[in-house]
Amino acid sequence: MKKTERNEVKKAYPVLPYLIGLFVMVVTLVLLSYFVQLRNKQELIDQDENMVYAAEYEYIDAEAGIK
């Protein structure tokens, strides 16, 4: 049996797909966080508006003598 030499060049491990995937994941998480903050901010604004409306109705009811 002959000994065969291995002159193969080892192939570099492909890192680029993992870097692209990591970049996409980070961008997705940042956008998701931004939209969640925006929604929470909008809910707070809506809640404040509802409190203003409730206060106005209480004032109107108080003027009309309704409890």
What would the pLDDT profile of 12-58 be if each residue is shown by its tens digit?
789 999 999 999 999 999 999 999 998 888 877 777 777 776 666 67
- CA-CA distances (angstroms) from residue 43 to 38, 59, 63? 9, 24, 30
In-domain check, residue 41: yes
Q: Say how far apart CA 51 and CA 29 lie, in whole Å.
A: 33
Look at residue 5 and tell me if it is in a domain. Answer: no
- pLDDT in the model for residue 45: 77
In a domain, 29, yes or no: yes
pLDDT of residue 4: 57
Provide the residue range defining the domain that includes 24.
14-67
- For the residues 56-63, what does the mean pLDDT come to? 67
d(CA 56, CA 37): 29
Q: What is the pLDDT of residue 19?
A: 96
pLDDT score for 43: 79
Residue 7 resides in a domain: no
Residue 61 near residue 67 (C-beta atoms within 8 A)? yes
Question: Which is higher by pLDDT, 7 or 40?
Answer: 40
The radius of gyration computed from the CA coordinates of the chain, to the nearest angstrom, equals 32
Total number of domains in the chain: 1
